[in-house]
Each structure stands twice: as C-alpha cells, then as structure tokens.
Structure 1
C-alpha cells in the first residue's frame, strides 16, 4: 500500500535487535516515521 502512495500505520513491538533489523529490511525503501512508546511493565499488564 505504501508503494502505491497510501499512508500506512504499523503497530508492532521491536523488542530485540533481530526483530528491529528484520522490520528495517522490509521497509527500507519507504518513507518511515518511528514513534517510540515507553511504559512500565505494570502498565503493559493492565
């Protein structure tokens, strides 16, 4: 969809370098804006 000019929102967890690098390999040719969200473990389990 991005290749056709559409904006795409992807919500994912990149919890290690391998997962992050795999994600980068998939989107390297597209405009990307990363937004990082950090919260406590307790908030995640809520």
Structure 2
C-alpha cells in the first residue's frame, strides 16, 4: 500500500511565554531552540 500525507489544522492557545510556538515547531519541524524569541501577535 502507498503512503499518504495528512494535513491538519491545529489551534494552540495558552498564556504568554508558556512554549506554544516551541511545541508546534518541535512536532512540525522536528526542531527545538533553547533561545526564546517572543512571537508577535496573532489574529483570528
């Protein structure tokens, strides 16, 4: 059987500076940075 790629949309919510971006990058790009850079804004 052939492999299939899946596409998911995920909404991550939480307080400021708790690691939301780090969590998403870890699982989507398999990378983690110890250097923190604040994410600027977001709109729904």
TM-score calculated relative to the size of structure 2? 0.38
**Which of structures 1 and 2 has the larger relative contact order (alpha carbons within 8 angstroms, sep 6+)?**
1
**Structure in which a larger fraction of residues adopt helix:** 1
